[in-house]
Chain A
Amino acid sequence: MFKGLSLTFMLLLSLPAHAENWPGEQWSNGPTVTGPALQALETYAFPPRDDSTRKGIRTDALLVIRDGQLIYERYAGPARADTPHLTWSISKSLMATVLGVAYGEGLFKLQDPVQTFYPPMKQHPGVTMADLLHWASGLDWQEDYEYAPLKSSVVAMLYTRGHQDMAAFTADHPEYAAPGQAFRYSSGESNLLSAALKNIVGPARYPDYPWTALFEPLGIRHAVWETDATGTFVASSYVYLTARDLARVGLLMARDGRWQGRQLLPRDWVAFNREPFAHYQAHQDDSVPGGQWWLNRAVAGAPQPWPDAPADTFAALGHWGQAMYVIPSENLVIVRYGDDRDGSYRHNDLLKLTLKAFAQQVQP
């Protein structure tokens, strides 16, 4: 009895030593970092900005969280700390996170056919929720943006033939492969997930669900998520968050889906997000697809996509240079917003320079 009590007492004593930092209304500030490594990072991320040619690296925001504290932030161009910036395809990873809360409520399973929740997918009865999360529905989708506007499914979905009902537009695509067998990046599939969520949580909860399930528990007070004309969230493209608020989702992911005392996302959900899709083939994309997140893993005989970052690095990535990198082994979350109109920006360069400036120095 006495032994048990003293053990409890010792545990209580040791708690402060393991205390974790979490943001309240604001992020608390960690120790400020200066020096040549930070200068090198800023030289890379914030070169003189050319708004007439729009060439080169054009960072709007760069923010670094270490151990749950804000240790660096800088804004450029039109962006400020309170700018809800367009995240483009980071929205896909955010929809996956919202779905994770519904998964934690026991409302669906990964192997459930999508048609259970979204009847227009009866045309493709074999496609499961896991297949959509892996971008592996087998639907014949063309993802090119402005360089091939005529053939682009995504341009047609967002702006012309599909914009009123993006999920239905996607479901009407023919199949090119069996479901679950082949990776092909598709914005349409993220919107199918969004349409499925409507019946997963029910139409009454759906319009508020991203807020009640994710944004409010994380203390995100100002999030915008645009919908199509049927009220389906445009999960492929249209979430707007400040860099500080997006980093809250990064911290949630870095800590395996736990927010303070609450396991908001089941651990096996986060593990699924971070597991490479088994049928991914080398160099099909710039990084390795997990469950609507991008992984820095050496798979299919190819080296790590970002060789200067740890293998446990994973990311949410969007058009024109939007990125959030999560590095659990370094307790780092990095948000980078941009307006890159060419291919100058390199994830590996930013990761290398950020790690050099901010990673914990290992004491000998």
Chain B
Amino acid sequence: MSRQSVVRRRPLSTLLVILLIALLGWGWQERVALWAFPDIISAYTAKEYCSCRYVMNNETEYCRSYVKQWLPTSRFVDDSASKRITVSGMGRTHSAAWVGERQGCRLNP
């Protein structure tokens, strides 16, 4: 049986296998960016909310809507006593905290 006949007998499966290999190849090439991607929403929300609230001194309600993006967050804690924000989304959690009058807020490691 020649290879050509496999392609002829299973054209759809062959195409899917090729697409899967291409996708895996792309995923491997972009593995660093893909792994970091789910961190964006919680890190962004924690940092920019912290600055909105404790650097720009805006109201909590305004800052919640200010940081809203198309990706959802699942948990949001604003500890106003320590000026520390913790946010979860896409399975990752990040926090940011107010550091001082001149340095504003910083994302924690």
A residues at B contact (CB < 8 Å): 51, 78, 83-86, 146, 149-151, 155-156, 158-161, 163-164, 211, 223-229, 238, 240, 339
Contacts and interface: CB of A to CB of B under 8 A. Distances in A.
Given A158-B44, A240-B104, 15 more contacts: A86-B52, A86-B56, A146-B69, A149-B40, A150-B37, A151-B33, A155-B40, A156-B36, A158-B47, A159-B40, A160-B39, A160-B43, A163-B43, A223-B102, A240-B55
B65 interface: yes
A156 to B, nearest CB: 6
B30 interface: yes
A86 B51 contact: yes
B103 interface: yes
A158 B39 CA distance: 11
12 contacts: A78-B66, A83-B57, A86-B51, A86-B55, A151-B33, A155-B44, A159-B47, A224-B101, A226-B51, A226-B106, A238-B104, A240-B104
Contacts of A158: 44, 47
A84 B52 CA distance: 10
Contacts, number: 76
B29 to A, nearest CB: 12
Nearest to A151: B33
A262 B37 CA distance: 49
B26 to A, nearest CB: 11
A164 to B, nearest CB: 6
Contacts of B43: 159-160, 163
Majority SS at the chain A contact face? loop
A179 B28 CA distance: 30
A339 B101 contact: no
B102 to A, nearest CB: 6
Contact of A224 (B37, B44, B47, B55): B55
Given A149-B40, A156-B33, A339-B66, A84 B109 contact: no
B12 interface: no
Contacts of A164: 109
A309 to B, nearest CB: 29
Contact of B104 (A159, A160, A224): A224
Nearest to B51: A86
Interface in B15-36: 30, 32-34, 36
Nearest to B58: A78
Contacts of B62: 78
Interface string B58-70: 1100100110010
A335 to B, nearest CB: 15
